[in-house]
Structure 1
Amino acid sequence: MKKIFISILSLGIVFSCGKTEKKNTAEKADLVKEEVKETETETILSVSDAMMENAVIYEANIRQYSEEGSFNAFTKDIPVLKQLGVKILWIMPIYPISTTKSKGSLGSYYAISDYSKVNPEFGTIEDFRNLVKTAHDHGIYVILDWVANHTGWDHHWIKEHPEYYTKDKKGNITHTVDTDWTDVADLNYDSKEMREEMKKHMMYWVKEEGIDGFRCDVAGMVPIDFWKTTTEELNKIKPVFMLAESWEPELLANGFDMGYAWDTHHKMNDIAKGKANVIDWDKRMKQIDSLYTKEDILMNFTSNHDENSWNGTVKERMGNASEMFAALSYVAPGMPLIYSGQEYDMDKRLLFFEKDTILKNKGKFFTLYEKLGKLKNSNPALHGGKKAASYHKISTSEDDKVLAFRREKDNHQVIFLANMTKETLKFTIEYEGVFQDYLSGESVGIIPNEKLQFSPWQYRILIKK
């Protein structure tokens, strides 16, 4: 078998996995505080547990972020992202794009022709270095999107090292089986030489260009042992942050710091459409407890580049529940993601293989993300990672319709209440206390058996006074 694929678990089955210690935890635990070393030319950040506990991650689509579609245009807005509490920039692939068998007029970011260069469409390597330096100067880490499963058909390995690729029965290089990814050629991980070259390229970006880690595309389609050994080597250069575009616990036990909360995202979509309810959300929270260790982090999101372009905008998928689910992505366990344009109330599907542009008009979501970012950054009750805040369900008289839970850590407490239906509801909550509504600033008293009334999709974030 060419690849050792991770087994896909049935979504309905909850099982307990061993509490495997993640590699490099000891090294990262020593960095409880961000180490910032000042030089004449740059600020060097080291990934730390402290960052992982309270970070907001931002997915940067350089091509579509501005009319110019360049590194420089994006770099100008890095101070704006800091306002939103962003601590990690995930930059979609920046490498030259293959033109052979490409899709659309510009091709896919994920059909790479050279892992060691930047796409001239975005600017120069000096422009990219300035982006990294600017991010670091603002206390923001930079991770690059890495595509280890395949290359574009223009990659020099195709002619120089055809043995690096998967071949069909006729001996021809082929795209990844059971996909429509015809614009890319599938890599063969039986090749030790290819593995070594792939690792060297990743090491280059960390050692020479100062990036802080990688978001790894279709990570579950690449053998786990490659990720494990490669991450060990990267961490010898400096501690890195590794995000897997996958959900499997095995990956988080073998080099990755964070995975995708795909099932959480799907539950959000289903609840918004009336296909699921709060009981299903509660089951998902229990499933997370059984599948992952306490220090594992999952990325919460209401959109990303795939969801936006292929499955629809947040408004299309979640309708009037969009704001409530945005807030929930910050308050629930995990790290919240903002995809380019969400902070500007973007309600269009960005073209994937063509030039498109995000319109930057500040609406309700910019202010909302700014407030939520401050809360996530500063309140220990929402922190994750090695010493994650606890999550406790709170009972209500409408447990299938009203989501109520509290997060606690170090004498800090945050409560989330939400009507997860399109109907106005009256309900009681089995809890009491005096709180501050975080978004409105008003004082709120909760008394057991006292009726509360929430309009459709209404939510409140309450802070213990």
Structure 2
Amino acid sequence: MRLLYFILPFLLVSSACTSTSQSSEEDPVEVSYPERAKDMVIYEVNIRQYTPEGTFNAFAEHLPRLEELGVDILWIMPIQPIGEKNRKGGLGSYYSIKDYTAVNPEFGTMQDFKNIVDEAHKRGMIVILDWVANHTAFDHAWTEKEGYHNTDSLGNVTWPEGTDWTDVADLNYDNKDMQSEMIDALRFWVKEADVDGYRCDVAGFVPMEFWNRAKDSLDVDKDLFMLAEWDEPKMHEDAFHMTYGWGLHHYMNEVAKGHKNADSLKSFVSKDYERYPEDAIRMNFTTNHDENSWNGTVFERFGDGHQAYAVFAFTVQGMPLIYSGQEAGLDKRLAFFEKDTIDWGEVKYQDFYAFLIDLKKNNPALYNGEYGGKPEFVDVGNPMVIAYTREKEGNRVDVIINLSGKNQSVSIPESWDFSDVFSGGKVSASITELQPYQYFVGSKSAGNE
């Protein structure tokens, strides 16, 4: 059941398909990315672990619930066949691609995947496919082609330098023929399955010249949404609309451990706005497949504060990410190279995340990138409490969060006088202390004065 009682009364532009508005001649005007993604929320899909079956068809049963949750972008982890040579574990890594233009038979068929894309489109969602451009499996056909991969001093194909990724073969981007074949493979999924974009794995390991070339080529076929798994401004030069907020995420983990305080988050966010171009969308999260499998669950890293940190990630800037099972309270590290099913017995945080998504979509102050308001931080006299206001064209959101597990004294500004959207309670200068991980959010719409 979605929580809708606080929804603000203005018209939202649908993200179901290419958004349009009407000109004076009633001709539709196409809205492209990044504007089209201004109020979107992204959801990462781990097909292998999502259901006991680990198939496309089994995952498809969850699409009505994800529609109800309110997510807009389904980022699906790699679905291609996994290499067998030098494989890690019993099932191997999704990121060891044996064939760029085929489907892992463990997940189902190409038609099964196309059915997911079609059904997602009908439900107002777009689908982006995880793309591994930096390396292939050691038994990919390209390893037999001269110059397609980097080699060691003996001429042997090698894994990416400086990593322990011994199951994947490093590609050579000096080879223009390989680049062209990679672009053809990207185009295949747009043409064959109608995907809407790509999440590009370790995008900074691949030259920007390739990404820009690929995006310019693919734009002829479809307006695609592009996400870089990288945290550098250069990724926004042409190819990418959104980049990972890795830096902010690591700072959040450090604050949760008590190694940093909320003031460090203020400084980081302010510098992030200075570093990145105005139209850059930053992706913020409390977990994803890497964090969950290798660094711990949200409960391990944030403890009882996992919801408080989620509120921060949803409201401070950029586009929020929800990982598979996060709404069900995923409390285990999912095995990366083996089958390890998510427990959907109780989807205990579905309403919580649906609430946050509704809040975001219905207040333009929380929109992504240049379409939302820049956070203005407020001093409340306590370095473990973060407070900020975001405003955009008469829309306003006020947020105050105790990021610690202890009671914290605060001095709330006299100008703050609002009803908390979660509890309905009044927030004002009369509040002088916050409980552990307590948070308040006030929302005001220009259309609801």
| TM-score normalised by L of structure 2 | 0.91
Return the alpha-carbon distance in structure 1 between the equivalents of residues 33 and 17 of structure 2: 6
Return the alpha-carbon distance in structure 2 between the equivalents of residues 320 and 368 of structure 1: 15
The equivalent of 1:220 in structure 2 is: 204
1:46–1:238 Cα contact (<8 Å) kept: no
Percent identity for Structure 1 against Structure 2: 45
The equivalent of 1:82 in structure 2 is: 67
Note the alpha carbon deviations across 1:205-246, whole angstroms, 9 max, x for none. 112210000000000000010001101111111110000000
Q: CA RMSD in A?
A: 1.8
The equivalent of 1:446 in structure 2 is: 428
Report how far residue 84 of structure 1 moved.
1.7
Q: How many residues align?
A: 423
Return the alpha-carbon distance in structure 2 between the equivalents of residues 248 and 35 of structure 1: 28
Q: Which amino acid aligns with 1:428?
A: S
The equivalent of 1:420 in structure 2 is: 403
1:52–1:385 Cα contact (<8 Å) kept: no
Return the alpha-carbon distance in structure 2 between the equivalents of residues 358 and 32 of structure 1: 28
The equivalent of 2:418 in structure 1 is: 435
The equivalent of 1:404 in structure 2 is: 387
Q: Show structure 2 runs of 5+ residues with no match.
A: 1-13, 21-29
The equivalent of 2:302 in structure 1 is: 318
Return the alpha-carbon distance in structure 2 between the equivalents of residues 451 and 85 of structure 1: 33
Name the SS for the 1:390 alignment partner: coil
Report how far residue 445 of structure 1 moved.
4.3
Return the alpha-carbon distance in structure 2 between the equivalents of residues 409 and 119 of structure 1: 45
Return the alpha-carbon distance in structure 2 between the equivalents of residues 342 and 330 of structure 1: 14
Note the alpha carbon deviations across 1:394-426, whole angstroms, 9 max, x for none. 12122x121110111121111110112222122
> What does 1:100-179 correspond to in 2, within 5 Å?
100-159=85-144, 161-179=145-163
The equivalent of 1:35 in structure 2 is: 18
1:108–1:353 Cα contact (<8 Å) kept: yes
Give the counterpart of 1:303 among 287, 293, 296: 287
The reply to whether residue 96 of structure 1 matches residue 78 of structure 2 is no
Q: Which amino acid aligns with 1:412?
A: N
Give the counterpart of 2:173 among 175, 189, 206: 189
Report how far residue 290 of structure 1 moved.
1.4
Q: Show structure 1 runs of 5+ residues with no match.
A: 1-30, 38-44
Name the SS for the 2:255 alignment partner: helix
The equivalent of 1:199 in structure 2 is: 183
The equivalent of 1:9 in structure 2 is: none
Note the alpha carbon deviations across 1:17-63, whole angstroms, 9 max, x for none. xxxxxxxxxxxxxx9994379xxxxxxx9854444111110000000
Give the counterpart of 2:259 among 264, 275, 293: 275
| TM-score normalised by L of structure 1 | 0.88
Report how far residue 158 of structure 1 moved.
1.4
2:309–2:403 Cα contact (<8 Å) kept: no
The reply to whether residue 460 of structure 1 matches residue 440 of structure 2 is yes
Return the alpha-carbon distance in structure 2 between the equivalents of residues 431 and 296 of structure 1: 34
Return the alpha-carbon distance in structure 1 between the equivalents of residues 251 and 240 of structure 2: 24
Return the alpha-carbon distance in structure 1 between the equivalents of residues 52 and 388 of structure 2: 42
1:295–1:388 Cα contact (<8 Å) kept: no
Return the alpha-carbon distance in structure 2 between the equivalents of residues 50 and 83 of structure 1: 23
Shift in alpha-carbon separation, 1:415–1:364, aligned structure 2, 3 A? farther
1:243–1:256 Cα contact (<8 Å) kept: yes
Shift in alpha-carbon separation, 1:433–1:417, aligned structure 2, 3 A? closer
Return the alpha-carbon distance in structure 2 between the equivalents of residues 361 and 407 of structure 1: 37
Moved more, 355-364 or 337-346: 355-364
1:34–1:51 Cα contact (<8 Å) kept: no
Return the alpha-carbon distance in structure 2 between the equivalents of residues 214 and 134 of structure 1: 18
